[in-house]
Amino acid sequence: MMYLDLHVIQNVPPCDMNRDDTGTPKTAIYGGYQRSRVSSQAWKRAMREMFPDLVDASQLGVRTKHAVALIEDEILRQRPDLSEAAGDLASDVLKVTGVQVEASRRAGSEKGTPVSQYLIFIARTEVEKLARIAIDAHDAGENLAKPSKEIKKAVSSAFHGTQALDIALFGRMLADAPDLNTDASAQVAHAISVNKVSQEYDYFTAVDDCAAEDNAGAAMLDTIGFNSSTLYRYATVCLPSLEEQLGDVGAAAQGVRAFLKAFVESMPTGKQNTFANRTLPSTVLVVLRDDQPINGVSAFESPVSPKEGVSISHQAEDRLATKLLQISETYGNDPVKVWWTAVDGGTDSLKQVGEQVTFPKMLDEVSASVLDALSKGEE
């Protein structure tokens, strides 16, 4: 098996980009200390929003309750003459998958429209295939509400074979239709801070611009939680699994390139307008392995503490590189290839790990190495 491990050190200023149910930044206890935390779900969402800038939209999916509306729109695109039947056809063909459809209870224009009971991850190509199946069934006079074995087989086939990139990477789980489930080729860890943190709270007021001159009080007052930290972020991609789901070595290499760029450059947007906390990583380390993925978080079991004249980010990249070298020496599992880039030029330990490159060159070399490794695996 071949794996690509992604390690990132990223400093973020005061922010609240991923909140819990109280509106406070998420945290975790690690090594006995409170750490800032950003959930993998939040960062994968940010990555998925960036994917359309990196790959053609036809290669992607959408996570939605409104699959019926998507299929209906596609039916009308292919056959405008089916305007009266399109809604029922779309609803019925989706039900064939086993997904339950109900009337939306949300207020506004959505109220009463047919939606799935839960979010489903569906590829744009799958929407097109389901629309085609519905049209053909209509033309043949078949009742989708009581589908034949042939229709059931066709619907199931629409979800198998080549997958959308984001579905191949992040997987799909349909509780009512387990046959359509897809295993994720990528795993994304919850980001945690390398340093211990304490939650802070900003007390703020808002003044009414049109208030009377004799009214000196605030029109609003509230508090918002925040913290600042240096995050360690980790993800891994199982390359043969990605190739199998995308059906092509070249597509897998391009998919890895998009995954790497999105993982490094994306950021969850929670409270972005309030804190303007958008940053880029100070260090990116990518490891190609032929044994197993290795998360380097143990480098930060003991939290990094501030030192005069030495940034936490600089200490963190040194610790990460040192830990990965120690793991290789202890277990004898030398990586196939390692690339790294660091804004500060890197530490001595980092320079022992692998090849220093710019991030654009890293994208080129990683995708080329993945293409070469997977091609050799097919020989």
CA angle 38-297-372, nearest 5°?
A: 95
Please list the rounded mean pLDDT of every run of 10 residues in the chain (379 residues): 97 96 94 98 98 96 96 97 96 94 89 92 96 97 93 94 96 88 97 96 89 80 94 98 96 98 97 96 98 98 95 97 97 96 96 97 98 84
| Residue 213: both structure tokens together | 């001159």
How far apart are alpha carbons 264 and 260 in whole angstroms? 6
Which amino acid is located at 16 in the chain?
D
How far apart are alpha carbons 130 and 133 in whole angstroms? 5
For 36, residues 6+ apart whose C-beta sits below 8 A from its C-beta are: 25, 26, 27, 192, 193, 197, 227, 228, 229, 231
Q: What is the pLDDT of residues 201-252, one digit of tens each?
A: 999 889 888 888 777 778 889 999 999 999 999 999 999 999 999 999 999 9
Q: List the chain domain ranges.
A: 3-55+185-378, 62-163
How far apart are alpha carbons 44 and 78 in whole angstroms? 33
Q: What is the pLDDT of residues 85-110, one digit of tens each?
A: 999 999 999 999 999 999 998 888 88
The HSE-up count of residue 100 (CA atoms within 13 Å, CB side) is 6
